[in-house]
Amino acid sequence: MISSVPAVIAWPVIVTMAVLLVGRYWLCRTNSYDTYYNNLMAFVLVAQLLREGSVEDILSRGALMSPTTAQQMAFVAMVFASTELIGFTMLWNGLPPEQARRQHRYYRAAAIISCICFLVAATRARLAGQTLEVSGGWDAIWAWVFYLIILLVMAARFVWMFANELKRASNRRERLLAASGLTLGTMTALGCLEALISALTDQLGWTSTVMFRLWLHGFEYFGIAVFVYVLGAIPLVVRLLSRLGLDPVSRSSRKLQPLWRAMTSVVPESRFNIEQVDPGGRITTLALHQTVIEIRDAFLRLRPYFGEVDPREVATFLSTHSVPTRRCGAATQAFQLACAARARSAGLTPKSPSAVTVLGSPSTTLDGEVAALVKVAKWWTLAWAATQRRTAPIPSTKAGTPA
């Protein structure tokens, strides 16, 4: 089956697939999920290469295998790709990795048996130099059956898995990912059924779909391969952004650093050290969580130093820096916090702690806490500079960041 996708389109896509696969094996190899999906992508790439006419010509000229043998080996590669995806679905459905590994061996054994049976059934077509669509016959029907067994099992598990995920999805990103996976599984299942049913009805003389099937199968598998790589590229992009410090966690951590350095300098007892080792030196969610806790702890320890702030000072600060109305609350909190930090760093006598708005947070999630603190941190440097004349200068705030 030679791909009907023009080479000018196919080869740039194949090269992109190869780059993504290298990237996946580089950055996405930390767990069993990654292993199964990386293997899936590798087999899909092999299958796509074996369907390209130029590759088949090279293999034929080198006396390695005939074009039809290459085409049938592409089918074999797709069977093994489907087997790896079955392993992925096992993990996704909550099976422990070790148990999934043990059970997956049976699927791999079944894949080997089905591939051997497929190649035996497809012998006549292979020797005649014909595709299964053109060859026809009951042996071709059996070849389709042996080829499609594993694919249909995979498609069924994939559809079931993402249908459940779509029900549980709580945000747009999760719904989009689940819908994409559901679409891929449905497309695969429909493609498998179309290939088998069309071959069967042709053999029974009810239809004549050879030309249609050659046209459809020429780009159908290419589309599935692209879909597989698009899904595989998502975690790769996420990890690459994380490595470059461009992910949401790293960006939020950077925005909080000026406030965190000041708070842990004024209130050093709010800082605690937890050894956090990340192989790539990335900012982890745990590190961000620690930063938030240390800032909030510093806020609590500064409560006795909160006093009445002259509203005219606050108004002057807001006016001087042209603070938008919707940002006035966070800017005012930053100013009050700066005043309390100045009071403590100057050694003023603390008062009895009282409930102060700046210390509270209505959020019950880490994301909400981070968002609230980022708003305050945005005005912190300006607020600190504006309160400099109140008391003695703050100690150095160039301490290291949390581990």
pLDDT in tens, 145-177: 999 999 999 999 989 988 888 888 777 877 887
Query: What's the CATH number for 7-244?
Result: 1.20.1070
Give residue-wise pLDDT tens across range 334-373.
888 888 888 888 776 666 655 444 455 666 778 888 888 8
How much is the pLDDT for 357? 45
* pLDDT, average across residues 64-77: 92
How much is the pLDDT for 236? 92
Contact assessment for residue 260 and residue 254, using Cβ atoms and an 8 Å cutoff:
no
How much is the pLDDT for 359? 55
Please give the structure tokens belonging to residue 27: 């950055």
Distance CA 125, CA 132 (A): 6
Give residue-wise pLDDT tens across range 30-40.
889 999 999 99
Q: Is residue 310 pLDDT above 90, yes or no?
A: no
How much is the pLDDT for 115? 96
Distance CA 15, CA 237 (A): 17
Tell me the pLDDT of the chain averaged across its residues.
85
- The pTM of the full predicted model, rounded to 2 decimals, is 0.74
Confidence of residue 113 (pLDDT cuts 50, 70, 90): very high
Contact assessment for residue 80 and residue 127, using Cβ atoms and an 8 Å cutoff:
no
Give residue-wise pLDDT tens across range 240-299.
887 777 878 888 888 888 889 888 888 888 887 765 545 555 677 888 888 888 888 888
How much is the pLDDT for 338? 87
Confidence of residue 390 (pLDDT cuts 50, 70, 90): low
* pLDDT, average across residues 319-338: 85
How much is the pLDDT for 165? 85
Confidence of residue 93 (pLDDT cuts 50, 70, 90): confident
Domain-by-domain residue ranges, the chain? Answer: 7-244, 248-390
Q: Is the dihedral of CA 131, 132, 137, 142 positive or negative?
A: positive
CB-based contacts of 345, cutoff 8 Å, min separation 6: 266, 391, 392, 393, 394, 395
Distance CA 7, CA 16 (A): 14
The three-class DSSP label of residue 173 is helix
